[in-house]
Amino acid sequence: MHEVDSHPHRTPRPLRGPAGFTLVELVVTLAVAAVLAAVLVPMYVARLPEARLRAAAHDLAGDLRLARSLAVADDKPYFVCFSGSGAYQIDRVDDPAAADCASASTPTERAANLATAYPGVRYGFAAGVADCPAAGGVAADPLAFPSDRAVFTPKGGSATGGQPGAPVQPVGLVYLTNPDTAPQQTWCVEVQGVVGNIRIYRWDATAGSWTS
């Protein structure tokens, strides 16, 4: 005896594998992905100049610390000489009174260009930025180092940092900015005297002060 199908007009279920998707599910997934991309990509692009500026400031601070460590390790002065719109190099210079890195005693330890590594970043500051870090006046020189070079002595401090026991004062400053940020942002990398500490600050335009 043959069994009679009690549902002769059943609609067949869509064919799908154990881990597959129906066409409708695939279209919905792609639509959601497109909406997310339309929202997130512009946000990422808008944040990119700010991220580049932050990374450049931290890179510079890291290389200044490197020069300080090399001076201590080699028991010789090390220079960080700044040039152009974002370039610098680290050299050992046996004479701390030398004018620049042209008097290097050994091949260049490291050369970098922040403007190339981080497009849009350069030495400089936005209009109205105050002196870093005390905000006692208006910033005037994006490379506030004597002869545009930082000098680290074998004791780790700066060659122009004053006498032991004297108050630690800024002995050199580098301002970095990126005109592509909105509003235009400015960061400052400070080399303190005597001990040669390196500090990073960001200009808070709303508060009118530097934050570390």
Query: Residue 186 contacts by C-beta under 8 Å, 6 or more apart in sequence?
Result: 124, 125, 126, 129, 139, 175, 176, 177, 202, 203
pLDDT digits (tens, 9 = 90+) for 139-183: 889 998 888 988 888 887 776 544 444 445 567 899 999 999 888
Q: Is residue 43 part of a domain?
A: no
> Domains in the chain: how many in total?
1
Q: Is residue 13 part of a domain?
A: no
Q: Is residue 39 part of a domain?
A: no
Sign of the torsion angle spanned by Cα atoms 70, 191, 103, 123: positive
Q: Is residue 34 part of a domain?
A: no
Q: Is residue 183 part of a domain?
A: yes
pTM for the full predicted model? 0.76
CA distance linking residue 47 with residue 176, whole number of Å: 17
Q: Is residue 61 part of a domain?
A: yes
pLDDT digits (tens, 9 = 90+) for 183-203: 899 999 999 877 788 999 999
**124: domain CATH number?**
3.55.40.10
Q: Is residue 15 part of a domain?
A: no
**Which domain, by its residues, includes 144?**
48-211
